[in-house]
Structure 1
Amino acid sequence: MGADEVVDVARRTLGPVGVCLPVSFTSTPPVEHQRAAVRQLERAGHRAAWTNEVIGKDAFAHLSVLLAATERMAFGTCVANIWARPPQTAHGAAAYFAQAFPDRFTLGLGVGYPQQAESVGRGFGRPLATMRDYVGGMDGETWPPAPDTAYPRILAANGPKMLGLAAEIADGALPARLPPEHTARARQLLGPDKLLVVGQSVVVDDDRDRARATARQVVAGWSGNAGFRDGLAELGYPAGDSDEVVDALVAHGGPDTIAAKVRAHLAAGADHVTLLLPIGTEFGPGIDQLTQVAPALADLT
């Protein structure tokens, strides 16, 4: 399967919108709860779900359980951390998924943070060079050979340099937590033939004032990241957590408000938008929130 076909298949199977499973740092839901959750999301009409990877959590082990628990749902990593496994191991596991669950797996890769490199005794280095080397290493020889099955590889990329690298060496990119104007720029940098998955932060709450207050807390948590601040400045947004910035970055309110922001990203060039609940959202309530928004997205899926 050629690169163009890989992207076309991913566009069809992922559909225009998906959800990222809630991320809580205080507990790990029992496996049966997670199986039940993705079945609930699938019944609600969500076609794709994504999972993250942090120190101590293996995204591939997680998805092996969830893929087997569902019938049609597509899954992806947002993102698999390159420090968690050697590149040949990542490729072998991804190819195995692609063979076992045809057209249902997308590999999102991210360079992560210095502390994640330090946790495995590695130096963080230069992100662009590190990512280039890693993706190149994925095609290194393994023994026995990895399954000869194709799957999409996309890179976590907000800045123009990483987006450019994604256009060069990957099947697409996964920018996150930025407004539709950034999606339009990302599409321009990637070109029309690459897969563009966008992570959209959401706060699901019918109480508009409370939703905005929560969204403001979410934005405030990002303000210490220099790259995030620089990216906003390039798009013409002021520093801080003004209403303008909060409204641009976080879809907050009822399901129709969430759906409107998804449509804005799709209109700007995204192939797929995945909904990101605030970090720390407890698993059960988060799954219920994602289920709640499904009807408002039904005409997209």
Structure 2
Amino acid sequence: MGTVQTVQPLDPVRAGVVAAARRALGPVGAVLPVSFTALPPVTAQVAAAVRLERAGYRAAWTNEVVGGKDALVQSALLLAATRRMVWGTAIANLWARPPQTLHAAAAQLAEAYPGRFVLGIGGGYPEQAAAVGREFGSPLATMRGYLERMDAPTRPAAPDADHLRIVAANGPRMLELAGEIADGALPAGLPPQFTARARQVLGPDRLLVVGMQVIPDADHGRAREAARERVAAALARPAYAAGVARLGFPASGTGGVSDRLVDAVVAHGGPDAIAAGARAHLAAGADHVVLLLQPGVDFAAGVDRLEELAPALTGTG
């Protein structure tokens, strides 16, 4: 995998903010079930947030593409509906709004709910850039420019309220950028070997949140085949295939997608199996593992699954 380039340590103030976030987030959280065809009513989202907090999750996360919903507005609604739960964006899509607007929105949430909001930022996909009339360009240059412009002066100025910024980083160069100009990183859909590499790059003081794909199903064989289909779809993206190959995972075996890759990338089976997957990422250096259900899952059924997993997962550490 080559030499791992580490980044400069955070200053003591930022390191303290990260340490506080680690305590608040806890070891495992969950992304609200994702649908790309229909947004659940606000009442259903609020009810889900309350249920997940009561189940023991100390943090939950929201997704965003471009259009359909605004992850920062959604976070505001769900922060107001819960008592102590931390909410994060996984991820706020940089094509959805100007950088200064994202900074102002995040700062307002941090002012209203101190210590309860984490801003995850991601570069999305070329079709999302095209949807707003932009060229996708170089993901690395685009992310660097966006993060640098977030703190540009505005009138009026954004609230002076601290919040964490972490960057979606599934490749080595984006990971180094996250360590250079953000508070941490949020890789997703990768094996614990990448988590270990990410921790080496980020050093001990930055926040490492890991998105872990999960397929809860008491029938282990059925769960593994569903996991295999999910990995096969991911491998259709050349960057993903190259990334797992760099980590020593051949994409295919004699029967198609290798069992070794499937088992490393998707936690599948009953609650204990999924808890074991979370523990593997935590042992590799993650501060917080986020459960990612299959996109398109029915919202109500997905919340049920997350609630059922909570007893095995919320005490994982």
Query: What RMSD, in angstroms, separates the aligned Cα atoms of the two structures?
Result: 1.1
Which sections of structure 2, spanning at least 5 residues, go unmatched? 1-11
The two structures have a TM-score, normalised by structure 2, of 0.93
Hey, what's the Cα distance between the residues in 2 that align with 1:265 and 1:119? 35
- Secondary structure of 2:51's partner? helix
- Secondary structure of 2:160's partner? coil
1:139 to 151, 154, 157: 151
Q: Map 1:1-301; keep pairs closer than 5 Å.
A: 2-56=13-67, 57-240=69-252, 241-300=257-316
**Which range moves more in the overlay, 214-223 or 97-106?**
214-223
Tell me how far 1:242 sits from its aligned partner.
1.9
What is the letter of the counterpart of residue 272 of structure 1?
Answer: H
The two structures have a TM-score, normalised by structure 1, of 0.98
Q: Is the 8 A contact 2:28 2:314 kept in 1?
A: no
Hey, what's the Cα distance between the residues in 1 that align with 2:144 and 2:205? 20
Hey, what's the Cα distance between the residues in 2 that align with 1:298 and 1:5? 24
What is the letter of the counterpart of residue 71 of structure 1?
Answer: R
Hey, what's the Cα distance between the residues in 2 that align with 1:150 and 1:65? 20
Hey, what's the Cα distance between the residues in 2 that align with 1:98 and 1:2? 16
Tell me how far 1:26 sits from its aligned partner.
2.6
**Which range moves more in the overlay, 44-53 or 214-223?**
214-223
**Which range moves more in the overlay, 242-251 or 32-41?**
242-251
Q: Which runs of 4+ in 1 moved over 3 A?
A: none
Hey, what's the Cα distance between the residues in 2 that align with 1:212 and 1:300? 22
Tell me how far 1:2 sits from its aligned partner.
2.4
Tell me how far 1:126 sits from its aligned partner.
0.8
Tell me how far 1:217 sits from its aligned partner.
1.4
Hey, what's the Cα distance between the residues in 2 that align with 1:299 and 1:17? 8
Hey, what's the Cα distance between the residues in 2 that align with 1:297 and 1:53? 25
Hey, what's the Cα distance between the residues in 1 that align with 2:184 and 2:175? 8
What is the letter of the counterpart of residue 52 of structure 1?
Answer: N
Tell me how far 1:222 sits from its aligned partner.
0.7
Hey, what's the Cα distance between the residues in 2 that align with 1:282 and 1:106? 26
Tell me how far 1:149 sits from its aligned partner.
0.7
What is the letter of the counterpart of residue 188 of structure 2?
Answer: A
Which sections of structure 1, spanning at least 5 residues, go unmatched? none
- Secondary structure of 1:71's partner? coil
Tell me how far 1:279 sits from its aligned partner.
1.0
2:6 aligned partner: none
Tell me how far 1:158 sits from its aligned partner.
1.0
Hey, what's the Cα distance between the residues in 2 that align with 1:108 and 1:298? 21
Tell me how far 1:55 sits from its aligned partner.
2.2
Hey, what's the Cα distance between the residues in 2 that align with 1:243 and 1:125? 35
Q: Is the 8 A contact 2:99 2:149 kept in 1?
A: yes
